[in-house]
Structure 1
Amino acid sequence: MQQTKGQALEIRLSAYIDGEIGESERTELEALLARDDDAKALLERLKAGSGFGDTAFEDFLHDPVPLALVRQIKQGPGASPKTERVATVAATVRNVRIWPRVAAASVALMLLGGAAGYVIGAANNAAEPTNVASARGWLDDIADYHRIYSRQKDHLVEVPASEAPKIETWLAASVGVPFKIPQLGGKGLAFEGARLLVANGKPVAQLVYRSAEGEIFAICFLKNTSGPQSDQFEESIRDDLGMVTWQRGGASFVLVGPSAHVGMQDIAESVAATI
């Protein structure tokens, strides 16, 4: 239990919220709260700040993580100093309990004090371009599809690889993107077949591959002529899935596979060169 007597009331109330004070201090603070409306109002603001901070941190934990960082962390001993710094920061976040709550409460106080209109207005003005938001939405759909279909044993694909010419004609007409099925045997991937998906309200072509270890990879693409076209490769991770995205010829592409696979970008570059 902490001893907070003599410290700022914000810190004492934060420890009270966390249940980290002794019985005598708890009794003292509860008596103060019962007779002091200002202290009671401060307690409510601290609680609101705690919820605000918890939500923001939870959102941070669920943000996509770069594949390179994930693989670096998985290396364990011998990880680079950058990885060690990340681990140190994570440990600090776990150990420090009171000050983040006070900081979050300060943000809540600012919002409650009259700055909410400015913050909300700035957020609206800084909204992401439509094409970026759409790209994020369709990738989320693709990740959900992949988790479902990659577990199918007898119905992994809609049209098998033996009908490759039909797949190219069918999907090109359905999606509006002409393509050739990439042959990835040199990368250890065998073509299994294809599916037609719908993501973010648009038809999406999915080409499915299997590795010698039985891991499932997929190339997905849809027509996208909005915004600037860039063939730069971007890697990210969504839980157990790694994703490499790029744009080319009026279409958006993504390679999906196991997050632990170290050659994702190399495969994506081969796909981009041949598809």
Structure 2
Amino acid sequence: MQQTKGHALEVRLSAYIDGEIGDAERSELEALLSRDEDAKALFERLKAGSSFGDTAFEDFLHDPVPLALVRQIKQGSGINPKTERVATATATVRHARVWPRALAASVALMLLGGAAGFIVGTANNVAEPTNVAAARGWLDDIADYHRIYSRQKEHLVEVPASEGPKIETWLATSVGVSFKVPQLGGKGLTFEGARLLVANGKPVAQLVYRSTEGEIFAICFLKNTTAPQSSEFDESIRDDLGMVTWQRGGASFVLVGPSAHVGMQDIAETAAAAI
């Protein structure tokens, strides 16, 4: 049992509502409530707040988690949102048993308001799925494809290098970009063949190369007449992959390969001049 003598009346009445005081102190507070109208009014307000806090926490624990919130949290942190939500709310409930119930009601309002604000804030992302997909970008899809296909042994490519002319006709027609397969033997890369991919909802050509060390590289490109044309090469690293991008002739290009390879931009410049 708590000893609340000497504390503010709000604290003492909150402990009384929770049944966390001794018999002597309970009798003292009941006598006060019977003769003091101000104390009685304060007691009724605290009691109403306690009831609201209990209901708010119960609703918070059992309210279904919106799908948009699930996706947002999964993408941002990798944490199971329902587990995190229940654990947080449960911890708050336990905390409320220690502190005055009036404080618990305030915390409930704060949590519910914050959750509502977060959900409203993410609603714009749900209303614009196209923009979310565009923000991810075609390079993310290319990186995912490369991690999968580069591990293939017997099915590294869809069409082998021996069918070079067929590859150029097939991919140029499918993607809408005329090109020639770059020969990169001078850079230690052997052309293995090609695949047709889909990235960000568009057909993408993939030309696959193997280094003398067995590492897999790929040149991927798609038609893109809206991007500004530039002779600049932009090099970036995505975990284990290095990527060099450029724009040319109404198309977007990327060279993708192991991030540890130091000659990526040199290979990209050679490929850009030949393709």
TM-score computed with the length of structure 1 as normaliser: 0.56
Q: Deviations over 1:109-137 (max 9, x none)?
A: 7x98x8998x889x99xx9x96x963742
Deviation of 1:258 (Å): 0.9
| 1:37 corresponds to | 102
Deviation of 1:257 (Å): 0.6
1:206 aligned to 2:271?
A: no
Q: Is the 8 A contact 2:235 2:244 kept in 1?
A: yes
Structure 2 letter corresponding to 1:152: Q
Quick one: distance in 2 between partners of 1:201 and 1:120? 24
Structure 2 letter corresponding to 1:220: C
Q: What is the correspondence of 1:124-139 to structure 2 with a 5 Å cutoff? A: 134=134, 136-139=136-139
Deviation of 1:152 (Å): 1.0
Quick one: distance in 1 between partners of 2:166 and 2:97? 78
| 2:218 corresponds to | 218
Q: Deviations over 1:53-112 (max 9, x none)?
A: xxxxxxxxxxxxxxxxxxxxxxxxxxxxxxxxxxxxxxxxxxxxxxxxxxxxxxx97x98
Structure 2 letter corresponding to 1:153: K
Structure 2 letter corresponding to 1:37: A
SS for the counterpart of 2:272 is helix
Quick one: distance in 1 between partners of 2:203 and 2:97? 64
Q: Deviations over 1:175-215 (max 9, x none)?
A: 11011111111111111111111112211100000011111
Please, what is the CA RMSD of the aligned residues? Answer: 3.4
Runs of 4 or more, structure 1, over 4 Å off, are 29-32, 42-46, 114-117
Quick one: distance in 1 between partners of 2:184 and 2:122? 48
Structure 2 letter corresponding to 1:157: V
SS for the counterpart of 1:165 is helix
| 1:169 corresponds to | 169
Q: Is the 8 A contact 1:32 1:39 kept in 2?
A: no
Deviation of 1:44 (Å): 7.9
1:232/1:43 Cα in 2 relative to 1: closer, same or farther (>3 Å)? farther
Q: What is the correspondence of 1:110-129 to structure 2 with a 5 Å cutoff? A: none
1:218/1:39 Cα in 2 relative to 1: closer, same or farther (>3 Å)? same
1:269/1:43 Cα in 2 relative to 1: closer, same or farther (>3 Å)? farther
Q: Deviations over 1:213-238 (max 9, x none)?
A: 11100000000111422332222222
Q: Deviations over 1:114-170 (max 9, x none)?
A: 8998x889x99xx9x96x963742112111111111111111111111111111111
Q: Which runs of 5+ in 2 are unaligned?
A: 1-86, 89-93
1:190 aligned to 2:255?
A: no
Q: What is the correspondence of 1:193-272 to structure 2 with a 5 Å cutoff? A: 193-272=193-272
Q: Is the 8 A contact 2:228 2:247 kept in 1?
A: no
| 2:155 corresponds to | 155
Q: Which has the larger radius of gyration?
A: 2
Deviation of 1:32 (Å): 5.2
Q: Is the 8 A contact 2:236 2:242 kept in 1?
A: yes
1:223/1:115 Cα in 2 relative to 1: closer, same or farther (>3 Å)? closer
| 1:273 corresponds to | 273
1:220/1:38 Cα in 2 relative to 1: closer, same or farther (>3 Å)? same
Structure 2 letter corresponding to 1:239: D
Aligned residue-pair number: 181
1:31/1:155 Cα in 2 relative to 1: closer, same or farther (>3 Å)? closer
1:193/1:165 Cα in 2 relative to 1: closer, same or farther (>3 Å)? same
Structure 1 letter corresponding to 2:142: I
Deviation of 1:30 (Å): 5.7
